Structure 1
């Protein structure tokens, strides 16, 4: 019998959490999701489910964690801080784990369910990433609420970081000079099996306070995994040559250049590959029985999802969605800087719905409607500088949602048919926003492009003014290209416009 008390999911917009929530809702569980951005949570397709509720909170803030935990029966703890906290992720993970243990006790929960890492320090020391995962499990287990630790290795599923690295490297590199870790044994697991194990932990008390290794039926090297992918993709046999002198840092750099996964995320994952990730016991099979997919089956299912454009969640979903205060106020003195702006406008003889359809396809394979080579060059420069580049693309070719990565932008706000606000995630000497507004006016639709930039120091000012002429040229071209994509004639513009100053804030110093 399912309890009337809600289940708290922390990390519900991440790769695993974003798939677990709908599974729990379909199974009849009440779900409460905690996140830093309610708009990001509200954009999910399952946010309108009658059994779903959301609450704002941050794992670094104990009070918000206690508020989110109040009245909940159990919690899924599916977060880690590699992306959000950067090099300081271990400290952030420790604080988050202490807060989770305290909040669970404060809320009277009967269990915490944690998804950890599958590796043990046998002959080699654990990577910092895996050591942090192990430490989080120990902290959660030290509290008064029993914690179930499910330790997984590489998760195979469309959109997972492990699968994307495998997919892009095998498809793009017929010959690979790889580190010695390609010979390391591991036991990957399909995302479907991970989700069923997590759900199963709610349904039996036999898991309370226990640690279980979870993996698929195959124990194989990463080299063999790459060969299986090539076979399933119908590619010629890949030549993988292990060499002893390739460092984790250089491997992460190469992965960053070939795949959408940035070096900052790739490096801790690669360092973890030095450790053998093989299940030490199979007790979980008796406690939560299910069919476990082979690596070949998991890869095949993931490839089918990619081809069908049905990637439910992606590794890039886990991104900070806390916009700077100047986003809303525009008060340069209050926010500590000068806001530089560039606005262009065009009128098109089309209805707003047709224009929005073209706007919603922007980026990814569609491109930005003008200067594709320039965008690719900007993405390449960003990639070589250690930024995310353009290779992340977009989750879906025609549908956007708040929190999605869009090439080297992230969607901060989305008002379908009217407005799209993007935050720059490329390497910049400052903070940048790009906004597209659609306004119906007297038989035509007006399209506004507005770029806003807060420079950091002299370098930021030089960057803005050096590229300002190019921005004007690109904006004009993009607006004309967007009009062509709509298939309707231009009625006015493109022309410059001066953005209105918000009435709610003191007038900032603006340079147009």
Structure 2
């Protein structure tokens, strides 16, 4: 995803026989249940045999990326390869080195025992990649990339790099009043701060084919899953506790904006605002670092504005109480 041009070891021409995880699980389960597999070495692989360069090109195609230029050179050692992989991806060089060294070895089935003893139609490389990307896409929305935590045994880089801007503030207002402020975001009300920047972003989005801010919102006071909100889409609502918006603006990656409310007393609450971005390609990385300085203006201001709105609502209902946030 990150590099349109790759200088690679000559071993990217080594052949491999990729197999989908679900097919591996099929064989593992059936090996336990099939007596004739006992004591045998059984190679398993998918139906396609191709080199690693072709595999990378298939992945780029599935991700709708331009064709990658792969230039194998004879002088790139596994150590240099691992350092380069570490530089441009979230994979640690200590893990990348054995992966790079493994490219030397042809990984193709030497027998067809699996097919004969445990008949099964394995997924093609294209089908396996598509299935994996569907799962990644579903996880992006359902778990916001990191809310669900790391699965046991997964390395911390397994899900790819996700950049996060997380901010919290305390408000002397009830959680209900904080929630009302959150679900009033967008539309004609705006985003509580730096609205001119949001309008500018909306105009730029429309210029490049995105929805911009023209969609507004269905209701001024309520949001439900599936609702459009300017250039966002509501993908999760837990009333009074959590709101998740997924960006539908034109971006070199995927983005979500999440708000949570936690009660800290009878008339106080903590509001947490989390923006996450999963870059797509080198352009995605450049985009994140280019807009990161603006987050201190836009996101910090929006959170303060939310808190002020909640405090003002609380003060209007309880004139004798403190109105500081």
Structure 2-normalised TM-score? 0.51
Give 4+ residue runs of structure 1 displaced > 4 Å after superposition: 310-314, 352-355, 477-488, 490-494
Deviations 1:282-334 (A, max 9, x none): 101122221111111111222222233369999x643699xxxxxxxxxxxxx
Are residue 284 (structure 1) and residue 105 (structure 2) matched? no
Write out aligned runs for 1:344-363 (5 A). 346-347=170-171, 349-351=173-175
Instruction: State the alpha-carbon separation in 1 of the partners of residues 177 and 24 from structure 2.
Output: 40
Secondary structure in 1 matching 2:47: coil
8 Å contact from structure 2 (residues 44, 109) kept in 1: yes
- What SS does the aligned partner of 2:43 have? strand
Does the residue aligned with 2:33 lie in a helix, a strand or coil?
coil
Task: Work out whether 1:190 is the aligned partner of 2:14.
Answer: no
Pairwise CA distance, 1:445? 0.9
> Matched residues in 2 for 1:320 and 1:233: separation?
23
Distance 1:274 1:353 in 2: 61
Q: Shift of the alpha carbon at 1:194?
A: 1.0
Deviations 1:217-255 (A, max 9, x none): 111110111122223233322110001121222222222
2:319 counterpart of 1:489: no
Q: Determine the C-alpha separation between the residues in 2 that align with 1:176 and 1:214.
A: 30
Q: 1:485 to 1:446 in 2, by over 3 A?
A: closer
Q: Secondary structure at the match of 1:202?
A: helix
Corresponding residue number in structure 2 for 1:304: 134
Question: How many residue pairs were aligned?
Answer: 205
Root-mean-square deviation (CA, aligned residues, Å) is: 4.3
Q: Tell me, in whole angstroms, the C-alpha distance in 2 between the residues paired with 1:350 and 1:268.
A: 54
Pick closer, same or farther for the CA change 1:183–1:483 going to 2, 3 Å. same
Q: 1:261 to 1:485 in 2, by over 3 A?
A: farther
Q: 2:64 aligns with which of 205, 229, 234?
A: 234
Match status 1:201 vs 2:41: no
2:216 corresponds in structure 1 to none
Residues 350, 254 of structure 1: alpha-carbon distance in 2 compared, 3 angstrom cutoff = farther
Q: Which has the larger radius of gyration?
A: 2
Aligned mates of 2:131, 2:177 — CA distance in 1:
35
Q: State the match for 2:224 in structure 1.
A: none
Say whether the 8 Å CA contact 1:346–1:490 is kept in structure 2.
Answer: no
Q: Given the superposition, is the C-alpha separation of residues 205 and 352 from structure 1 closer, same or farther in structure 2, using an over 3 Å criterion?
A: farther
Q: Which residue of 1 aligns with 2:266?
A: 442
Relative to structure 1, the CA distance from residue 217 to residue 485 in structure 2 (aligned partners, 3 Å threshold; closer, same or farther) is farther
Alignment of 1:50-449 (within 5 A): 171-309=1-139, 317=151, 318=153, 346-347=170-171, 349-351=173-175, 438-446=262-270
| Gap regions ≥5 residues in structure 2 | 157-167, 183-234, 243-259, 273-294, 313-322
Secondary structure in structure 2 of the residue aligned to 1:489:
helix
Aligned counterpart, 1:330: none
Give secondary structure in 1 for the equivalent of 2:90: coil
State the Cα distance separating 1:478 from its structure 2 match: 8.3
Instruction: Name the CA distance, whole Å, in 1 between partners of 2:302 and 2:101.
Output: 44
Structure 1 residues without counterparts, runs of 5 or longer = 1-170, 322-343, 359-397, 400-416, 419-435, 449-473, 495-512
- Tell me: higher relative CO, structure 1 or 2? Use CA pairs within 8 A at least 6 residues apart: 2
Distance (Å, rounded) in 2 between the aligned partners of 1:242 and 1:262: 22
Deviations 1:416-475 (A, max 9, x none): x79xxxxxxxxxxxxxxxxx9944312331469xxxxxxxxxxxxxxxxxxxxxxxxx99
